[in-house]
């Protein structure tokens, strides 16, 4: 309180108050600037004929007193005959303009036709748009990844199959909770409009009418917020290519089960309650207007199928885009975020699980944690003699805190240099040495801490330190993930030594220093070449499912064939977790490379 | 102008003005009061198993840590197994409450399932509602008839197949035009909101903000108006049975092609323009929310198929409910309204046409014409000696004008008594006779006229007379209809003498005096027992299509097999029309009974 702040969790609100949020806790609104979208390569040859979406230009005989066939029958008759279609249908939205467009185009029109029926590849095709004249130059669609933290939209030209624009931003739901659990709790709130009315009648001034008003339930608000983010990204992508969003006729969506529920406006409540089931793992195809997605209103929205509450479509999409389901080598796929979701298997079998790692690797639950934006320390080096720290900061400015990869690096360096012991305890005894490190190792407000950047070097004017509590959180996170690996392997009678490749998905995975991650026992001890960093495998999977019928079918197959292991029902989890609560692990034989390279600071 | 009124069609508006509409022109807002709904009998045995809509109550094993199947897969698995369904789907609206309802019902729920797929009898079934516990006592649907003038809603219990409530009211679109042509013109108006904004900015006071505002186009306004009428009728029917409109899961809709286009929000413009084609004769099935019909929002709405712009679903439904497509006897079906729509045929063939009879038989285009409501003269008798008139008034009060059946009766009596000659000319020479009739036969403002009710007996305080212009309008209407009959018969090499039964549909048909109608040559000269008055055949057809799969299929078959004859492209129409512009007809041999009974007032 003297320092000018209070812990919200320990403060009782007794009257009106103003809450100031320290800068490093504020959500950064922009994903890393200046990051250029890389050209996306498909691992297969694109075939337009593989598309269930087509454009056909057709010229009709105009009606006459001798042929008074209605407009739709006239168009259908000719489309069916020319393109060998059967049972062709039409959307009401298209019927509403059919008469006008046929005449504007003087009986030459371009139609957009979905060849796949609603969820049935053998079902009847459907006209979803019509325009006057010939317009065969492009056919647009989007791949969407709804992350709990960030959302990605790729605009795809289905004529060439190429990604023509990539946009990303933080999920607009973030201000309503940083992880899926808080989102689920927020979604279960009733209509906030009622509170507002009450507050109004009591004369309480409403500061944020926009988010309070509208009589929205928490669920409706979260759906609106994510849709606002996605719609802005779609609009930006469309603008970049100079097209209208009405020209986008399809969306394929990946995301974890909670994000997909919120996207569709389905209450996610049961996901967080025993026995942790979703309402639905594979949504039926939707029309864009049914959820409010800003593409053509009757454009089809396919949400990719997930496997379970905590192994969602982001993982099935990730597994497909990783290629692990096509290889004969035993592969381990992992997507580290708030939850560590992972899958083990090859082309013949797959088993998956999710461990609640907590948000430590995302910079939350750590005093000086932050997202991977400008000012985040992303790598740390500690001099094993002087215990002096040096570091690299994203954007090269002054540091403001640690992002996830910085924390992994820091933990590894502290361990290797001996600042912490196998159990993760900060060795304050080292502070007694007559070395400049003295001031870096100290007893702080939250227990022992190690200062990485001193107040005079930091952007915040405060010491940037890691505390014993932070370390405990990081240890729990890495232990949960490693326990997951172990149990997955053992459940099928294998050991992690049998794993031939480790595929790391998720934006976060791209920035992990493998050596550091092995040193702390987060990743299994394998040669560097066993690891592949795949970036955002969720959006890649959505893109593949969008452009390839085979990939779409593979995602569905995987969602059906993948075994899900519920760790909270596994009675060995606790043992495995405890065994992994050491650096790198209780069983050092699992990490031979760490043992070999580690300087021995232990009392032996 | 001296009498205090002006003809709108001959008046130039030069400034602000107030328009007062004489009472007899105002639309009566209630259909005949006190008319009890008759119990509707089906001509076949009702079978619930014939229904594509079912309710199933089912109890599920709750999920557990050992079985984390998602809610929808759990429900689907059990429904498919128990009821032998395949590929079961679910509506998004149901998914949104699925988790809550399953738990509220403690895993015993009642589902509403559509067995028919979207427009494909062999397609996958779909869950369209779910409720906790067992609720098998009822299953509701509605049959709807959208007349240009009046709308009818029948609430049907699909468990018994019985009509449980009948509601009717004038179509809310009436104030925007009395016939389909004026509705079509109104529908083509742009957004009225823009006018309003302009008017606002110019400081013009807006008197009717409700109908002007909302930025609605004419089409949107007409769709809203008919939906308001239908939704009120549905609400009233639901209230009468003590149910919620959400419990109504299906609607089958009949109506002429313009009414169906407006109901679905499809511009009807092309219907009135050469070569008179609709946008669509057979709409795809719709969900209620797509048009705003106030039944369960995902309830299915089937608009019955029509044949052409002026032979709509009201006629296909009428033909099916008339039974003419099941008989071996040559039948003539006719629905007399603004258009005289008719069909000729038997169980093996059908041919149809529509003649633009004009609204004379609906009381419009006749100086003292009015709808068949209280105060309308519905039957007239003229003394052939004194030319004195007596009449019967609906509601037994003082007369205010003539309704359609009154006009037919009047025309017939005038002809038979000799007040008019074969050409329909009023014989003013009779006024010279020393008889009290003198004052009834006179030269009026609109030419010769015959006074039926004198000012002192009328409710309006004015003489109620029929003028030469009125008679001409009536002659044209009846001639157009009779010409239609003749051309239909001749087009298939038959004559009207071959017709074995005449089936008269439409509310109006119920009140026609057959003898009168034959006397003026509106109906062919047949023995009384050849005529059947079927009432509102359109709503009956909608009801039959709702409760019977066979009937539904028959309507579709008829819409495909029925030949449509475009009278405006028929070069014999004008001759036939002119030949029928006499009473009863130029060719008196076609009306032997009239010739035989007619008193000879001709100069011979």
Return the residue of A nearest to B219 by Cα. Answer: A96
Instruction: For A530-549, give one letter per residue: b (16+ CB within 10 A) or e.
Output: bbbebbbbbbbbbbbbbbbe
Query: Number of residue pairs across A and B with CB atoms under 8 Å?
Result: 140
Say if the Cβ atoms of A99 and B279 lie within 8 Å. Answer: yes
Say if the Cβ atoms of A63 and B568 lie within 8 Å. Answer: no
> What confidence tens digit (pLDDT) does each residue in B160-187 have?
999 999 999 989 998 888 889 999 999 9
**Token representation of residue B391:** 């009449």
pLDDT of residue A57: 98
Return the residue of B nearest to A289 by Cα. Answer: B290
The C-alpha of A314 sits at a distance from chain B's nearest C-alpha, in angstroms, of 17
Q: Which of B277, B290, B568 sits opposite A92 (nearest CB)?
A: B290
Is the CB of residue B164 less than 8 Å away from at least one CB of chain A? Answer: no
Residues of B whose CB is below 8 A from A278: 70-71
Mean pLDDT rounded to a whole number for chain A: 88
Say if the Cβ atoms of A96 and B72 lie within 8 Å. Answer: no
pLDDT of residue B414: 95
pLDDT exceeds cutoff 70 at A409? yes
Least confident of A219-233, A335-349, A397-411, B236-250: A335-349
Mean pLDDT rounded to a whole number for chain B: 88
Is the CB of residue B9 less than 8 Å away from at least one CB of chain A? Answer: no
pLDDT exceeds cutoff 50 at A597? yes
pLDDT exceeds cutoff 90 at B49? no
pLDDT of residue B236: 97
Report phi then psi at B451, rounded to 5.
-90, 125
Residues of A whose CB is below 8 A from B277: 63, 68-71
Distances (CA, A) of B127 to A262, B116, B284: 21, 11, 19
pLDDT of residue A211: 45
Distances (CA, A) of B11 to A377, B1, B6, B19, B21: 84, 11, 7, 12, 15
Which of A:260-319 have CB within 8 Å of B?
264-267, 269-270, 274-281, 283-284, 286, 290, 308-309
pLDDT of residue B480: 94
A402 DSSP β-pair partners:
A369, A377
pLDDT exceeds cutoff 90 at A200? no
pLDDT exceeds cutoff 80 at A197? no
Is the CB of residue A124 less than 8 Å away from at least one CB of chain B? Answer: yes
The C-alpha of A346 sits at a distance from chain B's nearest C-alpha, in angstroms, of 24
pLDDT exceeds cutoff 90 at A360? no
Say if the Cβ atoms of B278 and A70 lie within 8 Å. Answer: yes
pLDDT exceeds cutoff 50 at B331? yes
> What confidence tens digit (pLDDT) does each residue in A324-355 have?
988 889 999 999 877 789 999 999 999 999 99
Residues of B whose CB is below 8 A from A100: 267, 269
pLDDT band at A21 (very low <50, low <70, confident <90, very high): low
pLDDT band at B33 (very low <50, low <70, confident <90, very high): very low
Contact yes or no for A155/A142 (Cβ under 8 A): yes
pLDDT of residue B22: 52
**CA gap A337, A480 in Å, rounded:** 12
Say if the Cβ atoms of A266 and B119 lie within 8 Å. Answer: no
pLDDT of residue B396: 86
Least confident of A448-452, A488-492, A522-526, B333-337: B333-337
Least confident of A43-47, A156-160, A509-513, B344-348: A509-513
Say if the Cβ atoms of B71 and A277 lie within 8 Å. Answer: yes
pLDDT of residue A207: 37
Q: Which of B64, B92, B118 sits opposite A290 (nearest CB)?
A: B92
Say if the Cβ atoms of A72 and B279 lie within 8 Å. Answer: yes
pLDDT band at A435 (very low <50, low <70, confident <90, very high): low
pLDDT band at A26 (very low <50, low <70, confident <90, very high): very low
Over range A401-423, report the average pLDDT: 94
> What confidence tens digit (pLDDT) does each residue in B180-233 have?
999 999 999 875 444 444 444 544 433 344 444 457 899 999 999 999 999 999
pLDDT exceeds cutoff 70 at A29? no
Over range B504-531, report the average pLDDT: 90
pLDDT of residue A372: 82
Say if the Cβ atoms of B66 and A286 lie within 8 Å. Answer: no
Q: Which of B104, B128, B279, B352 to mutate to test the interface with A (most CBs of A within 10 A)?
A: B279
pLDDT of residue B27: 43
pLDDT exceeds cutoff 70 at B553? yes
Say if the Cβ atoms of A286 and B124 lie within 8 Å. Answer: no
pLDDT of residue B340: 86
Q: Which of B90, B275, B286 sits opposite A63 (nearest CB)?
A: B275
pLDDT exceeds cutoff 90 at A16? no
Scan for tokens 């049972």, then name that residue.
Answer: A87
Scan for tokens 């029902």, then name that residue.
Answer: A569
3-state secondary structure of B468: helix
**Which helix (H) or strand (E) segment is B111 a member of?**
strand B108-114
The C-alpha of A254 sits at a distance from chain B's nearest C-alpha, in angstroms, of 18
**CA gap B476, B497 in Å, rounded:** 23
Contact yes or no for A524/A499 (Cβ under 8 A): yes
Q: Is the dihedral of CA B347, B351, B357, B358 positive or negative?
A: positive
Over range A258-269, report the average pLDDT: 97
Least confident of A332-336, B44-48, B513-517: B44-48
pLDDT exceeds cutoff 90 at A414? yes
Contact yes or no for B226/B146 (Cβ under 8 A): yes
Over range B261-272, report the average pLDDT: 97
pLDDT band at B430 (very low <50, low <70, confident <90, very high): confident
pLDDT of residue A604: 37
pLDDT exceeds cutoff 80 at B455? yes
pLDDT exceeds cutoff 50 at A193? no
Contact yes or no for B196/B169 (Cβ under 8 A): no
Contact yes or no for A495/A598 (Cβ under 8 A): no
pLDDT band at B34 (very low <50, low <70, confident <90, very high): very low
The C-alpha of B421 sits at a distance from chain A's nearest C-alpha, in angstroms, of 38
Over range B24-46, report the average pLDDT: 60
pLDDT of residue B436: 54
Say if the Cβ atoms of B95 and A264 lie within 8 Å. Answer: yes
pLDDT more than 90, % of chain A:
69
Say if the Cβ atoms of A68 and B277 lie within 8 Å. Answer: yes
pLDDT exceeds cutoff 50 at B23? no
pLDDT of residue B195: 47
- In 3-state terms chain B splits into helix, strand, coil percentages (rounded to 5) of 40, 20, 40
Structure ipTM over 0.90, yes or no: no
Q: Which of A70, A290, A569 sits opposite B65 (nearest CB)?
A: A569
């Amino acid at each position: 309180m003297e320092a000018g702040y209070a812990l919200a969790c320990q403060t009782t609100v007794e009257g009106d108050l103003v809450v100031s949020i320290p800068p490093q806790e504020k959500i950064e609104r922009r994903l890393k600037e200046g990051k250029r979208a890389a050209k996306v390569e498909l691992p297969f040859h694109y075939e337009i004929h593989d598309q269930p979406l087509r454009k056909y230009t057709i010229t009709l005989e105009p009606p006459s007193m001798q042929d008074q066939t209605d407009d739709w029958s006239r168009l259908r008759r000719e489309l069916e005959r020319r393109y060998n279609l059967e049972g062709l249908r039409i959307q009401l939205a298209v019927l509403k303009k059919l008469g006008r467009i046929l005449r504007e185009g003087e009986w030459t029109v371009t139609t957009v036709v979905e060849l796949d029926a609603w969820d049935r590849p053998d079902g009847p095709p459907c006209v979803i748009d019509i325009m006057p004249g010939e317009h065969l130059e492009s056919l647009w669609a989007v791949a969407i990844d709804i992350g709990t933290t960030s959302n990605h939209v790729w605009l795809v030209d289905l004529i060439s199959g190429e990604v023509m624009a990539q946009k990303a931003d933080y999920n607009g739901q973030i201000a309503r909770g940083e992880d899926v659990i808080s989102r689920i709790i927020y979604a279960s709130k009733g209509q906030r409009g009622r509170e507002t009315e009450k507050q109004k009648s009591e004369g309480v001034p409403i500061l944020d009418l926009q988010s309070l008003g509208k009589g929205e339930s928490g669920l409706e608000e979260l759906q609106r917020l994510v849709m606002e983010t996605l719609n802005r990204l779609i609009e930006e992508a469309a603008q970049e290519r100079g097209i209208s969003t009405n020209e986008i006729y399809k969306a394929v969506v990946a995301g974890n089960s909670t994000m997909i529920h919120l996207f569709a406006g389905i209450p996610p409540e049961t996901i967080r309650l025993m026995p942790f089931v979703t309402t639905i793992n594979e949504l039926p195809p939707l029309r864009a207007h049914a959820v409010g997605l800003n593409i053509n209103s009757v454009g089809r929205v396919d949400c990719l199928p997930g496997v379970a509450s905590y192994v969602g479509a982001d993982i099935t999409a990730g597994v497909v885009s990783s290629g692990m389901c096509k290889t004969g080598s035993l592969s381990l796929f992992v997507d580290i975020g708030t939850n560590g979701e992972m899958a083990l298997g090859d082309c013949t079998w797959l088993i998956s699980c999710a461990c609640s790692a907590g948000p430590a690797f995302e910079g939350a639950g750590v005093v000086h944690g932050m997202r991977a934006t400008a000012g985040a320390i992303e790598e740390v080096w500690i001099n094993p003699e002087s215990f002096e720290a040096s570091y690299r900061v994203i954007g090269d400015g002054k540091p403001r805190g640690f992002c996830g990869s910085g924390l992994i690096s820091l933990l590894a360096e502290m361990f290797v240099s001996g600042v912490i012991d196998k159990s993760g305890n900060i060795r304050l005894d080292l502070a007694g040495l007559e070395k400049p490190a003295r001031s870096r190792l100290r007893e702080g407000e939250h227990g022992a801490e190690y200062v990485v950047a001193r107040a005079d070097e930091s952007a915040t004017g405060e010491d940037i330190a890691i505390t014993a509590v932070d370390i405990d959180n990081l240890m729990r996170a890495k232990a949960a993930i490693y326990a997951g690996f172990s149990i997955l392997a053992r459940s099928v009678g294998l050991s992690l030594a049998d794993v031939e490749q480790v595929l790391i998905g998720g934006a976060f995975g791209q920035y992990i220093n493998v050596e550091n991650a092995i040193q702390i026992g987060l990743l299994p001890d394998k040669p560097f070449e066993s690891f592949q960093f795949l970036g955002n495998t969720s959006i890649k999977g959505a893109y593949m499912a969008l452009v390839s019928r085979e990939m779409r079918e593979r995602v569905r197959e995987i969602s059906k064939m993948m075994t899900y292991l519920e760790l909270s029902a596994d009675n060995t989890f606790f043992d495995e977790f405890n065994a992994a609560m050491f650096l790198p692990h209780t069983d050092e034989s699992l990490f031979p490379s760490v043992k070999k390279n580690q300087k021995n600071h232990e009392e032996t």
